[in-house]
Amino acid sequence: MQSVPHFVSGQRVAGVGEMPVFNPATGEMTALVPVPEASFVDGVIATAHEASLTWRESSLSQRTNVLFTFRQLLVEHTDELAAIITAEHGKTLADAKGELARGLENVEYACGLTEHLKGGFSSQVADGVDVHSLREPVGVVAAITPFNFPAMVPLWMSANALATGNVVILKPSERDPSTAVRLGELLSEAGLPDGVFNVLQGNASTVNQLLEHEGIDAISFVGSTPVARHVYQTGTTNGKQVQALGGAKNHMVVLADADLDIAADAAINAGYGAAGERCMAISVVVAVGDVAEPLIEKITERLDKLTVGPGSDPSSDFGPVITKEHRDRIVNYVTTAALDGITVVRDGTALADRPGFFVGPCLLDGVRPGTRSYDDEIFGPVLGVARVATYDDAVALINANPYGNGTAIFTRDGNAARVFSRQVTVGMIGINVPIPVPVSSYSFGGWKNSLFGHAHIYGPEGFAFYTRAKVITTRWPKPSDSQIDLGFPTTR
């Protein structure tokens, strides 16, 4: 069985494979991932530190050239990268290409680094005194990423971290670790010096070593809420700056005046796309007033037409989930929903009998706080409908939820939408847009248990997170102020 390599100092480095990687569409084990010894991790961090001493001094034009070339290589290698993503993650090829496109945006944004790294200047703040500011790289960044976007999330982090003169050690998810290695090779091909971008395979113990290691300066983490909280607490206790993005439970409110066909299309795309394994997936449709019955009817009509199959088959609307354990966990939410008084309108759990890790689309009616299928992030193709009487009840439901990643409202009433966007305690809001992932010139981040730390990821906040400010106050005394004869006229 082949072992997925690390990528260190510009080359693949073999490790002893220990953890299995599966093709979720077949259930077959396809590779093993190494769990490195502590001494190996120390060595990678030392390599990164050494590389950071020169990369931090690189010119902005050199970094721009690397990123422009990398952008082009990502475009040229889209099919190859999408095939790797689909083989290990299971999502459809179209979805894998979509993820690459959203990652590419971040590289394009980072290509504007001379603009983003401009400092400020104030002339004559006091007599003969000027002030200017600049931003310097933090040093070595550990990027720790989840399974559900094996290319996009590493690009969210790496594009800005490299543009700002940092060195990256990427610890990808052990479930789909191969894309990260190809990204490293393409960065090398683009001209990035050896050691500036490294991939360290591993598991929780590898992450914990990074969190405590004195050679790591900053940590960008994306994953589940319990791990995000742990990463934030441990990293900051060890003196690092940390941004840790966690899980989600995203609500989509449908008001009585909404176009229900548009809302039902949105619920299908945002609830079942990528088998619901997106942190911005809609998991709860909040039906206000009398909307529930007609909306459920429209959602089920569409749901019944969905095709579930291998991600490599162009006719599949969505593919399998990531592991057998995760499939069984999702199935359990559906088979036990009735115990909480929830109606299972559509039960896709029979697909779990297929080879691979499949679950068909499930629709639950009557989810509410205090029931497992509402309280937990299921992270599968299970959409819940919560019925509320009024708009105020919808907002109260969202604001009482411990997560605050994304939310959406469907309505024709501009004022209702505006008030909603001001009232909800959520970081990213869509108005008739179910998955409001910001474009790369805005930053991405949730509130409450969806983000630990203050900095959102990518965009302007990404540039700020990967840099430290310096402010320089300058006074050049006139020669007449000093006792030294400089040999030129003092009145200029």
Cβ-based neighbour number of residue 451 at 10 Å: 25
In the complex, minimum distance from the CB of residue 72 to ligand NAD, in angstroms, rounded to a whole number = 27
Calculate the dihedral angle through the C-alpha atoms of 414, 420, 421, 426, rounding to the nearest 10 degrees: -150
Residue in the shown chain whose Cβ atom is closest to ligand NAD: 223
Q: How many residues does the chain have?
A: 492
Tell the residue number behind the tokens 């809302």, with chain if given. Answer: 263
- Type of residue numbered 204: A
Q: Is 302 helix (H, G, I), strand (E, B) or coil?
A: helix
Query: Counting contacts by CB under 6 A, is residue 243 touching ligand NAD?
Result: no
Q: CB-wise, 192 or 199, nearer to ligand NAD?
A: 199
Q: CB-wise, 181 or 296, nearer to ligand NAD?
A: 181
Query: Counting contacts by CB under 6 A, is residue 207 touching ligand NAD?
Result: yes
Residues 6 or more apart from 215 whose CB is under 8 A from it?
42, 45, 46, 48, 49, 140
Catalytic (active site) residue 111: no
Q: CB-wise, 33 or 196, nearer to ligand NAD?
A: 33
Query: Counting contacts by CB under 6 A, is residue 148 touching ligand NAD?
Result: yes
Cβ-based neighbour number of residue 345 at 10 Å: 17
Query: Counting contacts by CB under 6 A, is residue 377 touching ligand NAD?
Result: yes
Contact indicator for 199, 185 with CB cutoff of 8 Å: no
Within 245-304, which residues bind ligand NAD (CB under 6 A)? 245-248, 279
Rounded CA separation 471/362 (Å) = 56
- The continuous run of DSSP H or E covering 417 comes out as helix 414-423
Contact code string over 385-404 relative to ligand NAD, x by CB under 6 A: --------------------
Contact indicator for 149, 170 with CB cutoff of 8 Å: no
Query: Counting contacts by CB under 6 A, is residue 158 touching ligand NAD?
Result: no
Q: CB-wise, 391 or 452, nearer to ligand NAD?
A: 452
In the complex, minimum distance from the CB of residue 202 to ligand NAD, in angstroms, rounded to a whole number = 7
Residues 6 or more apart from 426 whose CB is under 8 A from it?
398, 404, 405, 406, 407, 446, 447
Interacting residue with ligand NAD among 116, 135, 171, 346 (CB under 6 A): 171
In the complex, minimum distance from the CB of residue 353 to ligand NAD, in angstroms, rounded to a whole number = 24
Within 36-95, which residues bind ligand NAD (CB under 6 A)? none
Site size toward ligand NAD (CB under 6 A) is 29
Please tell me what DSSP assigns to residue 15.
-
- Choose the catalytic residue: 45, 167, 199, 279: 279
Contact indicator for 337, 346 with CB cutoff of 8 Å: no
- Residues belonging to the active site: 279
Residues that bind ligand NAD (CB under 6 A): 144-149, 153, 171, 173-174, 203-204, 207-208, 222-224, 227, 230, 245-248, 279, 377, 379, 405, 446, 450
